[in-house]
Structure 1
Amino acid sequence: MTKRSAPRRHLATSPFKAPALPVVKEFALGDRVSHDRHGLGRIIGVEEGVAMLVDFGARQARIPVPYSGMDKL
């Protein structure tokens, strides 16, 4: 069993930049999207803040947050 420690907090007096938070893209039900691996599709289901269910024609895929590789058309 491996213990995971909490991420280190950024000190305001640190000379280094704070780690950037990933930008979460926003999509809505019915949006047309393009995915790097699956191609063109339409959002058919929304799990708020968790994942999107996308119909790519031949198959459906659940794309989890942060929706990497997916862009709104």
Structure 2
Amino acid sequence: MTSSTTNRRVLPSSPFQPVAPEPVEQFSVNDLLTHDRHGVGRVIGLGTHNKVHVDFGAGIQTITLPNAKVTRL
């Protein structure tokens, strides 16, 4: 027997309410961002599946979002 949390009823008074995922931050070409490891970079392209291509000066990196190390400037 398998159980699925998607079919379970949640009572309004329950302290265990389902948590909605945080929305993925959207970037545009030429947006500036900072990365904890790579430093400041500029978005040069948008990929599929929440990926952005960023030029950090020393090289181009592809970053998958959401990423806790990325902050928009």
> TM-score, normalising length from structure 1?
0.75
The alignment covers a number of residue pairs equal to: 69
2:40 maps to 40
Query: Does the Cα contact within 8 Å between 1:50 and 1:65 map onto a contact in 2?
Result: yes
Partner of 1:17, secondary structure, is coil
Q: Indicate the RMSD between aligned Cα atoms, in angstroms.
A: 2.4
1:29 maps to 29
Listed one character per residue, the Cα deviations across residues 4-61 of structure 1 (whole Å, up to 9, x for unaligned) are x8x6225332611212313311211000111111110000010254200000000111
Partner of 1:61, secondary structure, is strand
Alignment of 1:1-73 (within 5 A): 8-9=5-6, 11-13=9-11, 15=14, 16-73=16-73
Q: Which protein shows a greater Rg? A: 2
> TM-score, normalising length from structure 2?
0.75
Q: Taking every aligned residue pair, what percent have the same amino acid on both sides?
A: 32
